[in-house]
């Protein structure tokens, strides 16, 4: 019979219990036993909740105290050698995640195209592996002791290795495959002996462009593992199998999970390719977003699968683990009923999966109430005037020139006339320290303990202090400090139409850290100026140019839950038009330099290379739309961080910002390699202070970086700045580092380098 299945449940807990337990443990406020008890409680609650929701196939080992990739690393006994002295497994685990005095933490990066961060496996040539923890089996038995038979989840060997990196020398991770597979085999055999009927093995790399070596590694792995393992459900997600379809369908596994939310169009091809002895798990409920599903539409998709594979070879599941969804919509007490009726969080998604399964087993009438609620929500969504605003659509359809009135060379002249900046101009990226006092005042204002006048007076004082300090230090282009902003996306979302904010919609970002992304539910517009007041206030305090500070449309889109009833490009264009209005208002208010931050431009890149061009086209166009309305002598800046821009350099140049500041200092100007082959046309400030580190760089460090930059970039194009905002730093280090930074620029001017 057709079964309902889940691929993973959020671990963090409805009230972020895991976060609180972890942070208490790290502070020494609770011991390991208490931490483990908190984990056990969450696991039990989540298993029971899934069973109560009618899920037949319930995962285990989807729980993690930090990250599931790190769990696999720990299970394989693959701790890097610098942690060798740590014998206690819990201490070792958190040392790898967070570092110790003696050994820095392992690297962390984004899990495919999500905002979840995993700990990157660190590999060495000739490394050995062993089954080092019993977590997978323990949690399977723990569920069984509660009367729940589960399907353990593992990160597959080829994905685990492919995500890995060597810190010392170039290493082909797959050269370690034959060392890793015996450990997987031992683990899987143990699970089988313990009575597990199925395991879920995740190989999300199946949604990427694969090398011949990766394909061969997948074949070799499953040839070997299927012989000893419980029945394997091989899970792919985050995209279509595409040219990996035949490979995936041919692997020696008992079932294949496919993502039909990201790639519904792949179903017919999968049905054709799937051998008759394999189960098909159809991922039809979106694990990545918060919208209620169109159940009738998804039922049609499931039925098409059913017609082909029959009832006994079919599982109905979310597209991917529900890790990327908030836990429970019922906890939202402040969202209005209409908006709520359009949403589904992890708990509601389980109910949707059950309803679809019931409809397949017994016919749609058996699940009528859930289907009717879905249809009603879809109808109200289609018709709601909160979503569809004819004026916004009309404006978005208008043909607006994407190019500035004049080419850069002409603009540069005009800007030089207006601002008369010295060679190697100095500036910062926008934010100044968000001290506990700033956060405390904001909270007091939000909770009504102080009124708007008092809060604004406080912000004015902070702003003035930042301006005076910048003048004293001698920076050339000042910023107001962003004290009024808690977060660079939230600040704008709260002032734009079409956005909503949840009270408890947390999703795990990394470790105990969670984010609460804004919800873009409807057409976006800007009812009133958002930043002008603060920029104008700050500008009036000083004779030096004051830079206005905005978040760009792609970044706002990328860090939100985005509506799915229209293409992302269209939503992005609406945001771009709203930001364009703000740019023009800043300009009209006399702000001559305006920075539009796009740190998330690169992370929006699609998983497949062949989709990059299409994405970059609309992303670049949206940025240009925000900036193209200003006069030649208004200077547009942009900022990007999180490295690895080399492969999209041409697109970055196409943004045609007059100045870009970019993160480079951590990678020791590695980025600049790209500038040797690609001559960047406009001005650029490669960050010379890694603000992610508490260390205050000396003049010598900064000068060395700048001179290195000057080898690849003509000095006349260079700006001098930190590599990101200073919000997380303290005032004393900011002051010291900025003094060194200004001094570095002065020395270079004096040396006649430009």
Where in the sequence numbering do the catalytic residues fall?
Answer: 692
Interface contacts to Zn ion, rule CB under 5 A: 599, 641, 724
Which residue, 184 or 432, has its beta carbon nearer to ligand GLN? Answer: 432
Among 525, 725, 733, 742, binds ligand GLN (CB under 6 A): 725
CB 58 within 8 A of CB 116: no
What's the helix, strand, coil split of the chain in %, to 5? 50, 15, 40
Among 724, 734, 741, 742, binds ligand GLN (CB under 6 A): 724
Q: Is 737 in the site for ligand GLN (CB under 6 A)?
A: no
CB of 38 to Zn ion, least distance (A): 34
- Per partner kind, with CB cut-offs from 5 to 8 A, the member of ligand GLN, Zn ion, none near residue 727 is ligand GLN
Tokens of 339: 């908006």
CB of 744 to Zn ion, least distance (A): 20
DSSP letter (8 states) at residue 665:
T
Among 381, 404, 727, 729, binds ligand GLN (CB under 6 A): 727
SS3 284: strand
Among 233, 438, 641, 691, binds ligand GLN (CB under 6 A): 641
Distance, in Å, from the CA atom of 433 to the CA atom of 210, rounded to the nearest integer, reads 43
- Per partner kind, with CB cut-offs from 5 to 8 A, the member of ligand GLN, Zn ion, none near residue 299 is none
Window 428-467: residues binding ligand GLN (CB under 6 A): 429-431
CB of 658 to Zn ion, least distance (A): 18
DSSP letter (8 states) at residue 312:
G
Which residue, 62 or 597, has its beta carbon nearer to Zn ion? Answer: 597
Which one of the spans 35-43, 344-352, 407-415, 721-729 is the region binding ligand GLN (CB under 6 A)?
721-729
- Per partner kind, with CB cut-offs from 5 to 8 A, the member of Zn ion, ligand GLN, none near residue 607 is none
Which one of the spans 60-68, 147-155, 687-695, 720-728 is the region binding ligand GLN (CB under 6 A)?
720-728
CB of 439 to ligand GLN, least distance (A): 14
Which one of the spans 182-190, 200-208, 678-686, 723-731 is the region binding ligand GLN (CB under 6 A)?
723-731
Phi, psi angles (nearest 5°) of residue 591 = -80, 115
Sheet of 279-285, strands arranged across: 3-4, 314-318, 279-285, 255-259, 231-235, 198-202, 150-155, 58-60
CA nearest to 207, candidates 67, 111, 306, 69: 111
Residues 139-178, one symbol each (x = binds ligand GLN by CB under 6 A, - = not), give ----------------------------------------
CB of 593 to Zn ion, least distance (A): 17
Distance, in Å, from the CA atom of 632 to the CA atom of 621, rounded to the nearest integer, reads 19
Window 62-91: residues binding ligand GLN (CB under 6 A): none
Using CB atoms within 10 A of its CB, is residue 398 exposed (0-12), middle (13-18) or buried (19+)?
exposed
CB of 639 to ligand GLN, least distance (A): 5
Cβ count near 18 (within 10 Å) = 25
CB 74 within 8 A of CB 95: no
Tokens of 178: 């034959």
DSSP letter (8 states) at residue 29:
S
Window 340-359: residues binding ligand GLN (CB under 6 A): none
Strand intervals (E) in 475-546:
497-500, 507-510, 513-515, 519-525
Which residue, 585 or 597, has its beta carbon nearer to ligand GLN? Answer: 597
Cβ count near 675 (within 10 Å) = 20
- Per partner kind, with CB cut-offs from 5 to 8 A, the member of ligand GLN, Zn ion, none near residue 563 is none
Which residue, 319 or 665, has its beta carbon nearer to Zn ion? Answer: 665
Using CB atoms within 10 A of its CB, is residue 134 exposed (0-12), middle (13-18) or buried (19+)?
middle
Distance, in Å, from the CA atom of 723 to the CA atom of 690, rounded to the nearest integer, reads 6
Q: How far apart are the first and last CA of the chain?
A: 75
Query: Residue 525 forms beta bridges with which residues?
Result: 497
Using CB atoms within 10 A of its CB, is residue 447 exposed (0-12), middle (13-18) or buried (19+)?
exposed
Window 481-510: residues binding ligand GLN (CB under 6 A): 482, 488
Tokens of 428: 């910062």
* Angle between helices 346-362 and 368-383 in degrees, nearest 10: 120
Using CB atoms within 10 A of its CB, is residue 212 exposed (0-12), middle (13-18) or buried (19+)?
exposed
- Per partner kind, with CB cut-offs from 5 to 8 A, the member of ligand GLN, Zn ion, none near residue 430 is ligand GLN
Which residue, 121 or 481, has its beta carbon nearer to ligand GLN? Answer: 481
Which residue, 283 or 725, has its beta carbon nearer to ligand GLN? Answer: 725
CB of 430 to Zn ion, least distance (A): 9
CB of 653 to ligand GLN, least distance (A): 19
- Per partner kind, with CB cut-offs from 5 to 8 A, the member of ligand GLN, Zn ion, none near residue 480 is none
Among 46, 340, 389, 639, binds ligand GLN (CB under 6 A): 639
Among 203, 462, 484, 597, binds ligand GLN (CB under 6 A): 597
- Per partner kind, with CB cut-offs from 5 to 8 A, the member of ligand GLN, Zn ion, none near residue 549 is ligand GLN
b/e per residue, 252-278, with b = 16+ CB within 10 A?
Answer: ebbbbbbbbbbbbebbebbbebbeeeb
CB of 651 to ligand GLN, least distance (A): 18
Q: What is the CB-side half-sphere exposure of residue 607 using CA atoms within 13 A?
A: 20
Which single residue brings its beta carbon nearest to ligand GLN? 725
- Per partner kind, with CB cut-offs from 5 to 8 A, the member of Zn ion, ligand GLN, none near residue 585 is none
- Per partner kind, with CB cut-offs from 5 to 8 A, the member of Zn ion, ligand GLN, none near residue 488 is ligand GLN
DSSP secondary structure string, 381-422? HHH-TTT--HHHHHHHHS----S-SS-HHHHHHHHHHHH-PP
**For residues 623, 624, 627 and 629, what is the CA-based torsion angle, rounded to 10 degrees?**
-140
- Per partner kind, with CB cut-offs from 5 to 8 A, the member of Zn ion, ligand GLN, none near residue 498 is none
Judged by CB under 6 A, the number of residues near ligand GLN is 13
CB 241 within 8 A of CB 272: no
Which residue, 93 or 623, has its beta carbon nearer to ligand GLN? Answer: 623
Which residue, 302 or 536, has its beta carbon nearer to ligand GLN? Answer: 536
CB of 551 to ligand GLN, least distance (A): 7
CB of 662 to Zn ion, least distance (A): 9
The footprint of ligand GLN (CB under 6 A) covers 429-431, 482, 488, 549, 597, 599, 639, 641, 724-725, 727
């Amino acid at each position: 019979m057709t079964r309902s299945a889940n691929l993973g449940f959020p671990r963090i807990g409805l009230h972020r219990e895991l976060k609180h337990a972890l942070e208490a443990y790290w502070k020494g406020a609770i011991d390991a036993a208490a931490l483990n008890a908190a984990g056990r409680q969450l696991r039990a609650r989540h298993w029971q909740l899934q069973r109560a929701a009618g899920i037949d196939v319930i995962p285990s080992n989807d729980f993690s105290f930090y990250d599931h990739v790190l769990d696999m690393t720990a299970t394989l006994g693959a701790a890097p050698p610098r942690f060798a002295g740590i014998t206690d497994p819990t201490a070792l685990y958190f040392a790898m995640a967070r570092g110790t005095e003696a050994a820095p933490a392992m690297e962390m990066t984004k899990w495919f195209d999500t905002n979840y961060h995993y700990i990157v496996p660190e590999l060495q040539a000739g490394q050995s592996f062993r089954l080092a923890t019993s977590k997978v089996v323990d949690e399977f038995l723990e569920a069984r002791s509660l009367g729940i038979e589960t399907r353990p989840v593992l990160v597959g060997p080829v994905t685990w290795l492919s995500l890995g990196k060597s810190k010392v020398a170039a290493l082909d991770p797959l050269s370690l495959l034959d060392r890793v597979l015996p450990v997987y085999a031992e683990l899987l055999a143990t699970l089988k002996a313990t009575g597990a009927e199925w395991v879920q093995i995740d190989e999300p790399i199946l949604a990427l462009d694969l090398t011949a070596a990766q394909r061969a590694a997948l074949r070799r792995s499953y040839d070997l593992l299927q012989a000893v393992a419980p029945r394997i459900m091989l899970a792919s997600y985050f995209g279509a199998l595409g040219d990996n379809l035949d490979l995936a369908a041919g692997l020696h596994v008992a079932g294949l999970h496919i993502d039909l939310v990201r790639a519904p169009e792949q179903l017919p091809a999968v049905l054709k390719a799937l051998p008759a002895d394999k189960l098909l798990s159809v991922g039809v409920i979106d694990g990545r977003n918060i919208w209620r599903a169109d159940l009738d539409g998804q039922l049609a998709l499931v039925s098409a699968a059913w017609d082909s594979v029959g009832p006994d070879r079919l599982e109905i599941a979310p597209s991917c683990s529900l890790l990327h969804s908030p836990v429970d919509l019922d906890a939202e007490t402040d969202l209005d009923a209409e908006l709520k009726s359009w949403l589904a969080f992890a708990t509601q998604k389980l109910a949707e999966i059950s309803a679809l399964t019931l409809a397949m087993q017994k016919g749609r009438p058996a699940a009528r109430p859930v289907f009717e609620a879905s249809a009603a929500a879809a109808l109200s969504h289609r018709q709601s005037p909160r979503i569809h605003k004819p004026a916004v659509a009309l404006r978005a359809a208008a043909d607006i020139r994407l190019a500035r009135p004049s080419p850069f060379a002409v603009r540069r002249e005009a800007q030089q006339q207006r601002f008369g900046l010295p060679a190697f101009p100095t500036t910062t990226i926008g934010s100044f320290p968000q001290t506990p006092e700033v956060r405390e005042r904001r909270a007091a204002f939000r909770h009504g303990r102080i009124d708007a006048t008092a809060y604004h007076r406080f912000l004015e004082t902070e702003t003035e202090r930042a301006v005076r300090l910048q003048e004293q230090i001698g920076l050339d282009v000042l910023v107001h400090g962003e004290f009024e902003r808690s977060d660079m996306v939230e600040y704008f979302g709260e002032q734009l139409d079409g956005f909503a904010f949840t009270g408890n919609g947390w999703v795990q970002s990394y470790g105990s850290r969670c984010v609460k992304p804004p919800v873009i539910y409807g057409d976006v517009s800007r009812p009133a100026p958002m930043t002008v007041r603060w920029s104008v206030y700050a500008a009036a305090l000083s004779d030096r140019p004051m830079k206005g500070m905005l978040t760009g449309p792609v970044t706002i889109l990328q860090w939100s839950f985005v509506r799915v009833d229209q293409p992302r490009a269209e939503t992005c264009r609406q945001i771009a038009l709203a930001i364009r209005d703000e740019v023009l208002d800043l300009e009209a208010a006399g702000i001559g330099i305006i920075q539009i931050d796009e740190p998330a431009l690169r992370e929006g890149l699609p998983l497949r290379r062949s989709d990059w061009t299409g994405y970059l086209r609309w992303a670049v166009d949206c940025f240009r739309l925000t900036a193209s309305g200003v006069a030649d002598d208004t200077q547009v800046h942009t900022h990007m961080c999180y490295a690895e821009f080399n492969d999209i350099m041409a697109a970055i140049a196409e943004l045609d910002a007059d100045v870009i500041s970019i993160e480079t200092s951590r990678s020791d100007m590695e980025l600049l390699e790209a500038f040797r082959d690609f001559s960047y046309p406009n001005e650029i400030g490669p960050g010379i202070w890694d603000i992610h580190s508490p260390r205050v760089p000396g003049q010598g460090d900064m000068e060395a970086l700048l001179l290195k930059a000057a080898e690849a970039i003509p000095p006349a194009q260079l700006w001098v700045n930190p590599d990101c905002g200073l919000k997380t730093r303290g005032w004393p280090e900011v002051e010291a580092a900025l003094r060194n930074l200004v001094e570095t620029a002065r020395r270079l001017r004096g040396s006649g380098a430009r």
